[in-house]
Amino acid sequence: MRQVFLDTETTGLKVAEGDRLIEIGCIELVDRRPTGRRLHHYVNPQRSSHPDAVRVHGISDDFLADKPLFEAVARELLDFVREADVVIHNAAFDLGFIDAELERLGLPRLAEHAGAITDSLALARELFPGKQNSLDALCKRLEVDNSQRELHGALLDAGLLAEVYLRMTRGQKSLVIEAEEVAGSIGAESVVDLSAFELVVLCASEEEAAAHEAVLADIDQASKGRTVWRPAPAAPVLA
């Protein structure tokens, strides 16, 4: 299974009011293992970022001034996510900005290029109802090291999301263990052929059997004959 963990940074929170994408980061996993493939771009939004947004991601307008427009990286993004399960934390937010950029170019929504879209926030809310389920909160709860996350960054957050997702879907509370991992962790030398052993049966002595019967009789008397382990007396046979 191929998965792409995706995150974005933006000029603000309101795509409907013209806020734009400024950074996108993607990390690829195949069969739940990192492949080393990643996609990362800063994008010139052709507008200023809101001061509150800059305090979150630390990306200045001057830094973005010479970066490519989204049009220059759109095809690379779509090729990277094609037919993959794209995992996004609070997917509606990121997709709103990406789809708005794609619409400006006359291109279909991201979901029409991906194989599937998975919202990890919805999954977290199912696993931890009533709790904080931001990426930082999940990192703390699931013991994912986010000490380098002084500011938000799309590629860094995509990597943290991958770690969080793997722990949410196969952590200590999960009863599912992949067969490949079991095979890899148990070597041939660890397998014991039990057919060579003869099972030893130890029978109770007469004294032990008598003591056991006395305990059962006491319980039977205390329960006024309502115990279920003694066979019912046979019904008389009528001639």
Structurally, the chain folds into a number of domains equal to: 1
Quick one: DSSP state of residue 89? T
Known catalytic membership, residue 152:
yes
Q: Hey, which of 5-9, 192-196, 210-214 has the most confident mean pLDDT?
A: 5-9
Residue 93 lies in a domain: yes
Measured CA to CA, the distance from residue 150 to residue 233 in angstroms comes to 78
Q: What CATH code is carried by the domain that includes residue 83? A: 3.30.420.10
Domain assignment present for residue 236? The answer is: no
Indicate whether 170 belongs to any domain: yes
Amino acid 231: pLDDT: 63
Question: Hey, what are 116's tokens?
Answer: 């599937």
Q: What is the pTM of this model?
A: 0.70
With respect to residue 214, please indicate whether it lies within any of the assigned structural domains. no
Residue 1 has pLDDT above 60, yes or no: yes
CA dihedral 57, 22, 85, 145 (to 10 degrees): -20
Q: What is the pLDDT of residue 207?
A: 86
**191-220: burial string, b at 16+ Cβ within 10 Å, e else:** eeeeeeeeeeeeeeeeeeeeeeeeeeeeee
Nearest-10 crossing angle of helices 91-104, 120-127: 170
pLDDT tens digits for range 62-103: 999 999 999 999 999 999 999 999 999 999 999 999 999 999
Residue 213 within any structural domain of the chain: no
Residue 155 lies in a domain: yes
Residue 127 pLDDT > 70: yes
Q: Is the pLDDT of residue 232 over 70?
A: no
Task: Give me the catalytic one of 57, 89, 152, 212.
Answer: 152
Single-letter code of the amino acid located at 231? P
- Residue 49: predicted pLDDT: 95
What is the structure's pLDDT at 23? 96
Top pLDDT among 235 and 116 is at: 116
Q: What is the pLDDT of residue 42?
A: 97
207-232 average pLDDT score: 76
Q: What is the pLDDT of residue 188?
A: 46
Residue 96 domain-assigned (yes or no): yes
Q: Which pLDDT belongs to residue 167?
A: 94
Is residue 145 predicted with pLDDT exceeding 90?
A: no
Among 108-112, 142-146, 178-182, name the one with the lowest average pLDDT.
Answer: 178-182
CB 118 within 8 A of CB 95: no
Range of the domain at 154: 2-174
- Whether 68 maps to a domain, the answer reads yes
pLDDT tens digits, residue range 159-201?
Answer: 999 999 999 997 434 333 344 444 444 444 555 565 666 667 7
Where does the pLDDT of residue 138 fall: very low under 50, low under 70, confident under 90, or very high at 90 and above? very high
Mean pLDDT of all residues in 197-213: 80
3-state DSSP call for residue 209? Answer: helix
pLDDT in tens, 13-53: 999 999 999 999 999 999 999 999 999 999 999 999 999 99
